[in-house]
Amino acid sequence: WMGLIANLPIALAPGMGMNAYFTYSVVGWRGTGIVSYEAAVTAVIIEGVIFFVLAATGARFALVKLIPEPVRIATPAGIGAFLAHLGLQTAEGIGVVVSDVATAVTLGACPLEKRTPVVAYDEACQAEGICPSDAYTCDVNG
C-alpha cells in the first residue's frame, strides 16, 4: 500500500535493503552465516521501530530530502533490478542466471548434463561430507 497509495516507494527501500542484507550476508544461505535467524529478525524489528519513529516525527522526510534527486529516482530501479536478479536465479526462480567463477554471474539454462554444482565448502560440509546446493554453473560446453 505504501508504494501505491502514498506514492512513496523510497519509504520501502530501507526495509527491503535490510531484509536482503540479513538474508544473504548475515544469516547466509540456509543458515550458514555468522548470526542466527532469530537475532536477524530481532534486528529487523528494531530497525522497523526506528524507521516508524523517524516517519512519525517527520525526520524521515527531512532525511529523504537530503538525498540528491538522481539517487532518489534511481533507488527503486536498483531495488527492482536486484529483485529481478534474485528471481532469475536457480534456487529462487527460473534459472536464467547462474554462478560463474570469472564474472560471478552468467546466463544459465544449460542442459542437466552440462551443469557443474557450486557449493559452499564450510565446516559442516567438511565434517559430514554433505554439501547441498541448488546453485550450478555451466561448463565450457554448456
Question: Which pLDDT score is estimated for 10?
Answer: 60
First to last CA, the chain: 43
Kindly tell me if the per-residue pLDDT of 48 is higher than 70: yes
Say if residues 123 and 133 touch (Cβ distance below 8 Å).
no
pLDDT (average), residues 25-30: 72
Kindly tell me if the per-residue pLDDT of 3 is higher than 60: no
Q: Which residue has the cell 544459465?
A: 108
Query: Whose CA is closest to 23, among 6, 35, 11?
Result: 35
Q: Confidence class of residue 70 from pLDDT cuts 50, 70 and 90?
A: very high
Rounded to the nearest integer, the mean pLDDT of the chain is: 74
Kindly tell me if the per-residue pLDDT of 132 is higher than 70: no
Question: Which pLDDT score is estimated for 66?
Answer: 92
pLDDT-above-70 percentage for the chain? 62
DSSP class of residue 83 equals: H
Question: Which pLDDT score is estimated for 90?
Answer: 66
pTM: 0.49
